[in-house]
Amino acid sequence: MKSMPKSPRYTILAFCFWCIHLLRSVERSTAQTTDPSEAATLHSIFQQWNISATSDWNISGELCSGVALKGIGNVNLGIECLCTFNNGSTCRITRLRVVMQNVTGHIPETIGNLTHLNYLALDGNYLTGSLPSSIGNLRSMQYMSVSTNLLSGGIPKELGNLRNLTNLGLGTNSFSGSLPPQMGNLIILQEFNMDSIGVSGPIPSTFANLVNLERLWAFDNELNGTIPDFTGNWTKLKILKLHGNAFQGPIPSSLSSLASLTDLQIGEITSRSSSLAFIKGMRNLTTLFLGNNSLFGNLPSNKSSSLQNIDLSYNQLSGGLPSWITQGLQLYVQKMHKVCYFHLYFSSDQTIHYISKGEFGCPVELNCNN
């Protein structure tokens, strides 16, 4: 018996079903998934820190999903992923943000397995122990901050491997020892926050390479030696805070090259006297703190019009107040047990008088306490 030929309609339907099946097979084979080793690492770290992934980016157990693919912004607990690996089928974790989550425990060595991280923020927790040397594996890192924790031990020299860093935050921790010379490799670093971290010793000579620095917070440590002359080569600096250390004088005259500074704070340099002349070229200053530096001489005859907050207490300045003392200026001075803190104003005849003739003192119109 002769079989009936298949109709064209049946053939078309069969072809359509076959295409749908093929597309679903391709879709299953190219579904984006988090790299298994990175997923295991993150799960392990979160387990140690007693925190969990949120449903915003851990949809149905897939870490790289939801907002992790769109950008976490300033969400305090989250990740971001890049899914361009293995023809778009594999996602790598590029950003990790765990900020102010009351996390306790250590930063595990396994964090060095997240080698595609370019952003790491662990600020404002209660992390203890040392900063692991495996952090040096994260060579794509551009922004890293572990500020405001309870970290201790030495700063690992492996930080010098992170040559793509532009922002580094170590502030408010309990590290010990000196700054590793290898950190001079961070030649594109722009912001470095290392205030109150417990380090001591001189600023390494290799830091001369950090010519792209724009903001350096290094106050309240035990740094010693002299402030290096090469600091004057950091001509992009806008903020420089070195007070509260154990530096020896004099303050280098090379600082006069830092014409972009808006905020300069240096204090507690008492071993050798320094001239105040280096501030003359700083035309963009708004805040100047130079208390307790054994500064000598007169105040400069001119200053930046933007400079309105000045602290020159506990120095050896002499002479009278210059003509740039005007209304609106915030000036704090202490000399020979005399303390003045005032918002300048003028008497009715627009004159300023002196308490000690020929010496740097307080105008009688101002609130001065002996």
The span from the CA of 337 to the CA of 315, in Å, is 12
What length does the chain have? 370
State both tokens at 274. Answer: 């320094």
Query: Distance of alpha carbon 310 from its chain centroid, rounded?
Result: 25
The span from the CA of 324 to the CA of 312, in Å, is 15
* Residue 288 parent element (H or E): strand 287-289
Per-residue pLDDT of the chain (370 residues; tens, 9 = 90+): 455 555 555 555 555 454 444 444 333 334 789 999 999 999 999 999 999 988 888 887 899 999 999 888 878 999 999 999 999 999 999 999 999 999 999 999 999 999 999 999 999 999 999 999 999 999 999 999 999 999 999 999 999 999 999 999 999 999 999 999 999 999 999 999 999 999 999 999 999 999 999 999 999 999 999 999 999 999 999 999 999 999 999 999 999 999 999 999 999 987 788 888 888 888 899 999 999 888 888 877 777 778 888 888 888 877 777 777 765 566 666 554 444 443 333 333 333 333 232 334 444 333 333 3
197 neighbors 221 (Cβ within 8 angstroms):
yes
The span from the CA of 81 to the CA of 28, in Å, is 20
Token pair 């210059």 is found at 322
199 neighbors 176 (Cβ within 8 angstroms):
yes
108 neighbors 45 (Cβ within 8 angstroms):
yes
* 296-300 CB contacts, 8 Å cutoff, 24+ apart: 298/322, 298/360, 299/360, 300/276
Token pair 């972009």 is found at 260
